[in-house]
Amino acid sequence: MGRPKIARKSTWVDMTAFVDVAFLLLSFFILTTKFKPPEAVSVVTPNSVSSKAAEEQDQCLVTLSPDGKVYLSYSEEERKIQVVDDLNKRLNLQLTPDEVKKAGKAEFFATPLSQLKSFLNLPKEEMAKGSSMPGIPCKDSTSNELTEWIASTTTVFLGEKLHLMVKGDKDATYPVFKNVIDAFKKSDQLKFKIITNQEPLPLNSPAAESAAKKAKGGAAE
Partner 1 sequence: MADIGEGGGGGHKKGPGVKKSKKQSTRVDLTAMVDLGFLLITFFIFTTTMSTPTAMNLFLPKDTEKPEEQNKAKASGALTIMLGKDRNVFYYEGILADDGSNFKSDNFSGIRDVILNKKKSTDDKDLVIVIKPTKEAKFRDVVDALDEMTINEVKRYALVDISEPEQQLIDLTVEAGGGGK
Task: Verify binding: residue 141, partner 1, rule CB under 8 A.
Answer: no
Task: Verify binding: residue 206, partner 1, rule CB under 8 A.
Answer: yes
Among 1, 5, 29, 142, binds partner 1 (CB under 8 A): 29
Could you tell me the smallest distance in angstroms from the CB atom of residue 138 to partner 1?
14
The β-bridge relationship of strands 59-64 and 70-74 is antiparallel
Among 154, 169, 183, 187, binds partner 1 (CB under 8 A): 169
* The one-letter amino acid at 183: A
What phi and psi values does residue 167 have, to the nearest 5 degrees? -120, 105
> Per CB under 8 A, which region of 101-109, 116-124, 132-140, 196-204 contacts partner 1?
196-204
Task: Verify binding: residue 30, partner 1, rule CB under 8 A.
Answer: yes
> Per CB under 8 A, which region of 94-102, 109-117, 123-131, 205-213 contacts partner 1?
205-213
Task: Verify binding: residue 170, partner 1, rule CB under 8 A.
Answer: yes
* Non-local CB neighbours of 46 within 8 Å, separated by 6+ positions: 168, 170, 196, 197
How many Cβ atoms are within 10 Å of 17's Cβ, its own excluded? Answer: 9
Site for partner 1 in 34-73 (CB under 8 A): 34-36, 45-55, 64
Spatial strand order in the sheet of 59-64:
70-74, 59-64, 163-168
Side-chain-side CA neighbours of 43 within 13 Å: the count stands at 29
How many Cβ atoms are within 10 Å of 107's Cβ, its own excluded? Answer: 18
Residues contributing to the site for partner 1 (CB under 8 A): 7-13, 15-16, 18-19, 22-23, 25-26, 29-30, 32-36, 45-55, 64, 165, 167-178, 181, 184-185, 188, 190-198, 201-202, 205-208, 210
